[in-house]
Amino acid sequence: MQETNGTLPRLELKLCAPRGFCAGVDRAIQIVELALLKYGAPVYVRHEIVHNKYVVESLRNKGAVFVEELNEVPDDGQPVIFSAHGVPKSIPAEAQRRNMFFLDATCPLVSKVHKEAILHDRREREVLLIGHAGHPEVIGTMGQLPEGTVHLIETVADAKSYQPHSDRQLAWISQTTLSVDDTSEIVRVLKERFPDIAQPHKDDICYATTNRQEAVKFIASQCDALIVVGAPNSSNSQRLREVAEREGCQKAVLLQRAADINWKDFEGITSLGVTAGASAPEILVEEIIEAFRSHFDVVVETIRTATEDISFNLPRELREGVSTTG
């Protein structure tokens, strides 16, 4: 970039808080790391533990072996870990049939949605899941009930056209990483069409997703550009980029690493927002800030819109081993 009068151009960098790791992601990573300490390598992980290449590679370097299906796991007695996104009921059932030792790293807030689906079905309700087809969390939630029992609603158009499959009362649940605004619009349509539809006692969209979107909403219109640090297959990261665009930020981009920065995209800016998806480690945020320091005279201001102090318990098998494994 061009320097101005022999000095770097000034850049006001607004750093969202909260950002990055949520309690569910932190717990899932800890489960893999503690399993490696307690049981030794290899530890098998079904699917990416969280959607972040940096995290996956760092765990792979420590001895984690990532697989897509259990048939890739040898019968060697080593632990198998299910990812934070959750799995269909058929997966732990298969692991039990094979006498595998498995640890479930499903985020407790995803498990809450699983329990809601099961409870609605027991109460003879027809279950609608608001979410994105093909996402691991959606596959896991739909897989809590027999095939064809849970019906996916992806868009407002789906909500407008949905025809019940039975005379049962309807109930809706949702993926935890959706856009708060998009989901609200879908729910509005469902309630208009089906006034008696049952809903969660507490929103299914998780606190971390909501908080990160609110932080982006707060700063987006004040920034010439905004960077979301996260992976392209991370739902909550993609939603952050969409929220920034919707709130008036002219250029919102999703980047995995500083090496992915296209500097032409940021020519002439004087203000930049930075946040990170719930599966992106802080080291990647710091990496991007340092990259901008080489092109701008950066002044960082942290904008805090919420405080998070939530933590989740580890599986009992690992809690018992923590004191002896350091």
Q: In percent, how much of the chain has pLDDT > 90?
A: 94
Number of helices (H), then strands (E), belonging to the chain: the values are 12, 12
Q: What is the DSSP-derived secondary structure letter of residue 232?
A: T
Q: Which two tokens stand for residue 127?
A: 């279950």
Are residues 106 and 46 in contact, defined by beta-carbon separation less than 8 angstroms? no
**In this predicted structure, what is the pLDDT of residue 320?**
73
Mean pLDDT on 131-142? 97
Structure confidence at residue 324 as a pLDDT band (50, 70, 90): very low
SS3 316: helix
Burial (CB count within 10 angstroms: exposed 0-12, middle 13-18, buried 19+), residue 263:
exposed
Helix axes 180-193, 207-220, angle to 10 degrees: 110
Which amino acids are annotated catalytic? 137
Report whether pLDDT(299) > 50: yes
Give the whole-angstrom CA distance, residue 13 versus residue 180: 25
Give the whole-angstrom CA distance, residue 82 versus residue 136: 11
- 48 contacts: CB under 8 Å, gap ≥ 6: 56, 66, 83
Report which residue type is found at 112.
K
Report whether pLDDT(1) > 50: no
Alpha helices in the chain (DSSP H): 23-39, 53-62, 90-97, 108-122, 136-142, 156-161, 180-193, 207-220, 235-246, 282-293, 316-319, 322-325
Report whether pLDDT(325) > 50: no
Give the whole-angstrom CA distance, residue 136 versus residue 122: 24
Mean pLDDT on 252-277? 97
What does the buried/exposed string (b/e) look like for 15-24 if buried means 16 or more CB atoms within 10 Å of the residue's CB? bbbbbbbbbb
Sign of the CA dihedral with 43 first, then 47, 50, and 55 last: positive
CA atoms in the 13 A half-sphere facing the CB of 146: 3
pLDDT tens digits for range 34-71? 999 999 999 999 999 999 999 999 999 999 999 999 99
SS3 326: coil
Mean pLDDT on 12-22? 98
**In this predicted structure, what is the pLDDT of residue 321?**
54
Report whether pLDDT(90) > 80: yes
Q: What is the DSSP-derived secondary structure letter of residue 308?
A: -
> 10-21+207-304 is classed in which CATH architecture?
3-Layer(aba) Sandwich (3.40)
> 23-107 is classed in which CATH architecture?
3-Layer(aba) Sandwich (3.40)
Report which residue type is found at 232.
P
Same fold, 10-21+207-304 and 109-193: yes
Print the SS3 string covering 79-131. Answer: CEEECCCCCCCHHHHHHHHCCCCEEECCCHHHHHHHHHHHHHHHCCEEEEEEC
Report whether pLDDT(202) > 60: yes
From the options 3.40.630.40, 2.30.40.10, 3.40.1010.20, 3.20.20.70, give the CATH code of 109-193.
Answer: 3.40.1010.20
Residue 54 to residues 29, 58, 113, 279, Cα–Cα distance (Å): 12, 6, 28, 10
Are residues 315 and 103 in contact, defined by beta-carbon separation less than 8 angstroms? yes
Mean pLDDT on 153-159? 98
Number of C-beta neighbours around residue 123 at 10 A? 11
Residue 249 to residues 14, 15, 219, 223, 274, Cα–Cα distance (Å): 13, 15, 9, 6, 12
**In this predicted structure, what is the pLDDT of residue 322?**
53
Burial (CB count within 10 angstroms: exposed 0-12, middle 13-18, buried 19+), residue 76:
exposed
Structural domain boundaries of the chain?
Answer: 10-21+207-304, 23-107, 109-193
